[in-house]
Structure 1
Amino acid sequence: MTSREDKEAAVQAQSGSAGAGRLYVVGTPIGNLGDLSPRAAEAFRAADSVLCEDTRVTGKLLAHLGISKPLVRCDENVIAARAGALVDRMATGEVFAFASDAGMPGVSDPGQVLVDAARDAGIAVEVVPGPVACVTALVASGIPCEHFFFEGFLPRKHGERVRRLRELAFVPGALLFYESPRRAADSLAAVAEVFPGRDVALCRELTKLHEEVLRASAPALLDEVQAREELRGECVIVVAPPSAEELAAWRAGSGAAIGAPASAEDRDAALRTDIREALAAGESVSAIAKRLSQKHSLKKRTVYELALELQES
């Protein structure tokens, strides 16, 4: 056997018999190709096809590895519709590797839909760990990270951003947010409004040549970012944990208005209202499931099924 064949056999042996269908969930670099693990390359070689968000992005990655495989687009617009057929193919013995454009699939991207479907069908799922932008940013920021909460993307509208940040005021750890360079200043404005006394870091171009970590008080960081003509590269915002004094002030000043647990009926009503508004605005069911599952801390499948129900009603 050649060295490559030995590696492929080893990968297959890790999860069971060589003829069994399975799903490899493969972490990929967030910017630096040197972070691609040998095990990730082995998983791509062992797969019959590679599922990905953007065939162009993943095609370049495979070309870098000298691998040629059929590529199947599985972005947020189509993955829920295709998951069933893909699971059926795995049940007959096909092996798929799933990769997002960068980082770990399932972390603020549509991969979790496919993982859920595969596990529900009894398909073997093997995760090949890789870089994660939010954790990389947390460490690079120097902000205390004994505890942290990953939110994903904040809402687009300022009022909704502020409301969500106030809901997170009682989290006893660092807060992590993803943001595009176009909206980074808007999100920092909301952070400065809600948490003016906390340190905040903006991390961009992580692991790349022009990696940058800016850290200051929330208002000072906002001023620095607004003074720039342009930001480039995907961003991670890291907000420092609340001090004991800040927590006490929030509790004393907010009473039950902020942080008090809502009833199940109120949470369901709020979710249904958000879904109806999104459907009326023309947002796809898959996009609604991704965004609102983060906002309401629910499984994407739960939101997806409810959105389908409301769409048909």
Structure 2
Amino acid sequence: MDIITEPSALGGRAREWARAGRQVGFVPTMGYLHAGHERLMALARERSEVVVASVFVNPTQFGPNEDLDAYPRDLDRDAALARRIGVDVLFAPRPEAMYAPEAATWVEVPALARHLCGASRPTHFRGVCTVVAKLFLLVRPTLAVFGQKDWQQLAIIRRMTADLGFGVEIVGAPIVREADGLALSSRNVRLTPAERAEAAAINQGLALAGELVRGGEGDVGRVLAAVRARYAAEMPSGTVDYLACVDPQTIEPVTTIAGPVLFAAAVQFSGARLIDNRFVDVK
């Protein structure tokens, strides 16, 4: 596996792959890799001749007073995991290599970023879209794999990719969870032992929402009230940033359930903000 730090070197390699007609799979990450990332890379490996993964803690998707400086980093550990999965190239650029001091161009999909994470982090998805667009231009992938834990991000990337004509197939990979149901996240290491025990309630509350809907409850307000009560009882250390029911495609709030919906939550603990979701299909 090659580790590349300069965008120009990666771009040159990508042009060689394009001339040779190679199928390139791409997995963009912010590093501190875990079993969820392994699954993304394994999917790319199954479907591609060449696999590229990036490790880049993208500063433009962090707002003021967010955890940019505290975000966990361990490139040696990440490289060992990527090598074990069969990644061909690991791209680990410096921020100044990705963003010129005078950079003034942004990529946005405002219609899909109004709710959920976009409501409390108004510049987050602008940063995500901009860096993913830049990475797509460098890597020239045939397909790119993203986790469904960031469902809103996945929807936004799909829209951006289609609108800008990148010609990249966007693959969504199912959420990988701990034994107690907590969605894997690089930020989980920043939970205290007590918070870690409580955090399992995030998924359990979303599972309750699914059970209520499948049992015939169609009023979103009553479903969300039941989940909030569960969170208050079982997750006293966490502050709910949002708990919502939205259309899975438009990410617009839903009040009455008559078809597929997405229940999504974000919970802030002392050192980490965690997100999770559950897709519920009502026939």
In terms of Rg, which structure is larger?
Answer: 1
After TM superposition, the score normalised by the length of structure 1 is 0.32
After TM superposition, the score normalised by the length of structure 2 is 0.35
